[in-house]
Amino acid sequence: MTALTRFDLTSMPPRYRTSFVNALSGFKSANLVGTRHPDGQENLALFSSAVHLGADPALLGLISRPPVSERHTLENILATGVFTLNQVHPGITEAAHQTSARYPRDISEFQACGLTPWYSGTLDAPYVQESRLRIGLRLRDTLPIPLNDTVLIIGEVIEVLTEPDAVGDDGHIHIHHLDTVTVSGLDSYHRTLPLARYPYAKPR
Amino acid sequence: MTALTRFDLTSMPPRYRTSFVNALSGFKSANLVGTRHPDGQENLALFSSAVHLGADPALLGLISRPPVSERHTLENILATGVFTLNQVHPGITEAAHQTSARYPRDISEFQACGLTPWYSGTLDAPYVQESRLRIGLRLRDTLPIPLNDTVLIIGEVIEVLTEPDAVGDDGHIHIHHLDTVTVSGLDSYHRTLPLARYPYAKPR
Class of CATH domain A29-190: mainly beta
Q: Give CA–CA dist B117/B99, Å, rounded.
A: 14
Instruction: For B98-152, write each residue's pLDDT tens digit.
Output: 999 999 999 999 999 999 999 999 999 999 999 999 999 999 999 999 999 999 9
Residue A146 contacts residue A158 (beta carbons within 8 Å): no
Tell me whether residues B190 and A193 touch, CB distance under 8 A: yes
Chain B residues 30-69 with a CB less than 8 Å from chain A:
30-31, 48-61, 63
Query: Is the model's pLDDT at A82 over the cut of 70?
Result: yes
Beta bridge partners of A133: A162
Q: Give CA–CA dist A38/B24, Å, rounded.
A: 27
C-alpha closest to that of A83 among A92, A93, A94, A72: A72
pTM of the model: 0.97
Helix intervals (H) in chain A: 14-22, 72-80, 93-98, 109-113
Q: Give CA–CA dist B31/B131, Å, rounded.
A: 9
Q: What percent of chain B has pLDDT over 70?
A: 99
Query: Which of B24, B108, B160, B179 is most worth mutating to test chain A (most A CB atoms within 10 A of its CB)?
Result: B24
Give the confidence band of B67 by pLDDT, cuts at 50, 70, 90. Answer: confident
Instruction: For A164-201, write each residue's pLDDT tens digit.
Output: 999 999 999 999 999 999 999 999 999 999 999 999 99
Q: Does A70 touch chain B (CB under 8 A)?
A: no
Q: Give CA–CA dist B49/B46, Å, rounded.
A: 9
CA B124 to chain centre: 19
Q: Give CA–CA dist A196/B156, Å, rounded.
A: 32
Beta bridge partners of B50: none
Chain A residues 9-28 with a CB less than 8 Å from chain B:
9, 12, 14-28
Q: Which residues 6+ apart lie within 8 Å of A118 measured at CB? A: A126, A127, A128, A129
Give the confidence band of A66 by pLDDT, cuts at 50, 70, 90. Answer: confident
Domain boundaries defined on chain B: 28-190
Helix intervals (H) in A38-176: 72-80, 93-98, 109-113
Residue A68 contacts residue A149 (beta carbons within 8 Å): yes
Query: Is the model's pLDDT at A1 over the cut of 60?
Result: no
Q: Does A79 touch chain B (CB under 8 A)?
A: no
Q: What is the DSSP letter of A65?
A: P
* CATH H superfamily, domain B28-190: Electron Transport, Fmn-binding Protein; Chain A (2.30.110.10)
CB-CB neighbors (< 8 A) of B185 in chain A:
172-173
Q: Give the long-range contacts of residues B117-124, CB within 8 A, separation 24 or more.
A: B117/B34, B117/B42, B117/B44, B120/A6, B120/B159, B120/B161, B122/B158, B122/B159, B123/B82, B123/B84, B123/B158, B123/B159, B124/B36, B124/B80, B124/B82
Name the amino acid, one letter, at B169. D
Can you give the pLDDT at residue A2? Answer: 60
Q: Which residues 6+ apart lie within 8 Å of B115 measured at CB? A: B32, B44, B92, B95, B96, B99, B109, B128, B129, B130
Can you give the pLDDT at residue B2? Answer: 60
DSSP result, B11-54: GS-HHHHHHHHHTTT-SEE-EEEEEE-TTS-EEEEEES--EEEE
CB-CB neighbors (< 8 A) of A101 in chain B:
201-204
Task: Report in angstroms the alpha-carbon separations of A17 from A7, A11, A186, B99, B157.
Answer: 11, 9, 11, 32, 12
Query: Is the model's pLDDT at B96 over the cut of 90?
Result: yes
B199 cis-preceded (ω within 30 degrees of 0): no
Query: Which of B1, B5, B19, B27 is most worth mutating to test chain A (most A CB atoms within 10 A of its CB)?
Result: B27
Tell me whether residues B48 and A48 touch, CB distance under 8 A: no
Residue A74 contacts residue A151 (beta carbons within 8 Å): yes
Q: Give CA–CA dist A42/B20, Å, rounded.
A: 29
Nearest CA in chain B to A129: B1
Average pLDDT on B43-66 reads: 96
Task: Report in angstroms the alpha-carbon separations of B128 from B41, B106, B110, B136, B197.
Answer: 15, 19, 8, 11, 30
Q: Which of A25, A198, A204 is opposite residue B97, by nearest beta carbon?
A: A198
Query: Which of B16, B108, B183, B192 is most worth mutating to test chain A (most A CB atoms within 10 A of its CB)?
Result: B192
Q: Does A159 touch chain B (CB under 8 A)?
A: yes
Give the confidence band of A70 by pLDDT, cuts at 50, 70, 90. Answer: confident
Q: Does A128 touch chain B (CB under 8 A)?
A: no
Residue A112 contacts residue A61 (beta carbons within 8 Å): no
Average pLDDT on B21-46 reads: 97
Tell me whether residues B60 and A129 touch, CB distance under 8 A: no
Q: What is the sign of the dihedral through the CA atoms of B33, B34, B38 and B41?
A: positive
Query: Is the model's pLDDT at B164 over the cut of 90?
Result: yes
